[in-house]
């Protein structure tokens, strides 16, 4: 029987999908990606996760649960830090153990890799190790990794170019500062982007940015943040803020890192209207749509005169 890897469509999938999928394609390994988040996935995730977990990690657990009976192994990487670039929220380090313990009675089989640059656990080494565990030869894993990295780079450049073109249009432009696993999730974050587009507003995705430049620009707003992903988003505010008409901060409930970082952005960025939205996974979008309507109305009405939190 052909081995099949399950990939949860949550968390780092939104950052590494091209890398993972190309790597497995090149190795000739079959994989299945869980579907877009839906009500059932959120409800299963909430059932298995602890109450205090953030909505994004409940969604992750829900995607893992969906995959359990449909594949041989589920890919659950563990990320500790990216060295100089910073650490990550502890959820990304703990998720492997959380998943293993949550589903131990269902004999879940995981395939993992660790990224811990401070302890010389680099991405390329981690991928070679993962390929070896899947029974692949070193030469083939090196080749597959290099092709996957090139594909990842190309897809990032295409995204960036598309966004640069969008910045040139004459619509109202709003910068969305959110983790990709929140803003691109079809159930929780995507309805915001979709609604803005329906209003004729151009959404600029904060995470689509030159990451190196963003990390260095982060210093102009805060020089002490520990979390790499948040540093990229803060740097993105510095890069894009003068090219947009307003900023929307979007977090999932109850995210510790985002609540601190959003507060810093609100205090330090005074020359743009900012709206702060917390996603709680509840059904019904009327409340959020009303807030988006009034945010855009204020921008239209006040033009450049308005600044501050709305
Ligand atoms: S950064 Fe926030 S949303 Fe992301 S995993 Fe950590 S607590 Fe959850």
Choose the residue to mutate in 60, 226, 258, 280 for probing ligand 1, maximizing ligand atoms within 8 Å of C-beta. Answer: 258
- Which residue has its alpha carbon closest to ligand 1 atom 7? 255
Which parts of 167-268 fold into alpha helices (H)?
180-183, 190-198, 211-217, 228-240, 256-268
Residues with CB under 6 A from ligand 1: 54, 56-57, 89, 91, 179, 252, 255-258
* pLDDT digit string, tens, across residues 167-215: 999 999 999 999 999 999 999 999 999 999 999 999 999 999 999 999 9
Q: How far is the CA of 259 from the centre of ligand 1 (A)?
A: 10
* pLDDT digit string, tens, across residues 83-117: 999 999 999 999 999 999 999 999 899 999 999 99
Q: Which residues contact 223 (CB under 8 A, 6 or more apart)?
A: none
Q: Closest Cα partner for 80 from 255, 272, 280, 226? A: 226
**Predicted pLDDT of residue 1:** 64
In whole angstroms, what is the distance from residue 10 CA to residue 8 CA?
A: 5
**Predicted pLDDT of residue 2:** 77
* pLDDT digit string, tens, across residues 44-56: 999 999 999 999 9
Q: How far is the CA of 284 from the centre of ligand 1 (A)?
A: 23
- Give the whole-number percent of the chain exceeding pLDDT 90: 92
> Which of the four pLDDT bands, split at 50, 70 and 90, describes residue 303?
low
> Chain-wide mean pLDDT for the chain?
94
- Which residue has its alpha carbon closest to ligand 1 atom 6? 89
**Predicted pLDDT of residue 302:** 73
In whole angstroms, what is the distance from residue 126 CA to residue 108 CA?
A: 21
């Amino acid at each position: 029987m052909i081995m099949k890897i399950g990939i949860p469509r949550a968390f780092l999938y939104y950052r590494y999908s091209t890398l993972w999928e190309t790597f497995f394609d090149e190795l000739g390994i079959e994989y299945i990606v869980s579907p877009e988040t839906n009500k059932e996935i959120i409800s299963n995730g909430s059932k298995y996760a602890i109450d205090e977990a953030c909505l994004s990690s409940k969604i992750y657990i829900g995607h893992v649960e969906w995959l359990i009976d449909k594949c041989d192994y589920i890919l659950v990487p563990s990320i500790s830090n990216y060295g100089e670039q910073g650490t990550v929220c502890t959820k990304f380090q703990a998720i492997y153990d959380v998943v293993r313990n949550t589903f131990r009675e269902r004999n879940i089989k995981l395939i993992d890799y660790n990224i811990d640059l401070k302890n010389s656990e680099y991405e390329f080494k981690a991928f070679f190790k993962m390929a070896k565990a899947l029974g692949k030869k070193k030469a083939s894993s090196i080749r597959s990794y290099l092709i996957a990295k090139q594909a990842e780079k190309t897809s990032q450049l295409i995204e960036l170019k598309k966004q640069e073109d969008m910045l040139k249009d004459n619509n109202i432009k709003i910068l969305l500062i959110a983790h990709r696993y929140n803003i691109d999730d079809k159930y929780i974050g995507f309805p915001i982007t979709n609604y803005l587009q329906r209003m004729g507003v151009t959404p600029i995705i904060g995470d689509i940015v030159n990451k190196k430049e963003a990390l260095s620009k982060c210093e102009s707003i805060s020089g002490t943040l520990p979390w790499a992903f948040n540093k990229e988003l803060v740097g993105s505010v510095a890069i894009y803020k003068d090219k947009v008409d307003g900023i929307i901060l979007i977090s999932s409930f109850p995210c510790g890192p985002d609540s601190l970082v959003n507060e810093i952005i609100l205090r330090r960025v005074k020359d743009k209207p900012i709206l702060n939205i917390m996603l709680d996974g509840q059904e019904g979008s009327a409340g959020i749509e009303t807030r988006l309507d009034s945010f855009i109305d204020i921008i239209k009405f006040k033009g450049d005169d308005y600044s501050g939190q709305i």
